[in-house]
Amino acid sequence: MDLKVNNFINGYIACMLWSTSGQTPGGEELEDLTEYPLSQDAIDSIKADCEKFVNNNKDLLSEVYSRPTDYQNAGHDFWLTRNGHGAGFWDRGFGVVGDALTARAQGFKELTPYIGDDEKIYFL
């Protein structure tokens, strides 16, 4: 896998885990999901969405993220933007490029992670 895409996916996952609260199957409230593994369904969904976003937006992403390691920030911004958080591509000072990336990220449906009975993360 391309290093930029891999970094993008890693940033996306890290942001998703710390920015999402939830409950265990037993009802315990969680501040974040950092202690729980991803289900194979979640991994497949993440890879598909991230690869699609990066491949469809290579030119825009390369205008504002110059190094492969910067793509972790892009993955982070993709998660925040697609899910309507108060930060994301539009909040980075990227001007029209940030606006275009925001519009394209908002074209992806919002996801709600949850912990299944097997204590792995899935999406609604």
Tokens linked to 27: 């009802």
The list of the chain residues with pLDDT below 50 reads none
14, 76 contact by CB (below 8 A): yes
Give domain limits for the chain: 3-123
Give the model's pLDDT for residue 7. Answer: 96
The pTM of this model reads 0.94
CA separation for the pair 10, 23 (Å, rounded) = 23
Q: What percentage of the chain exceeds 90 in pLDDT?
A: 90
Output the pLDDT for position 66: 87
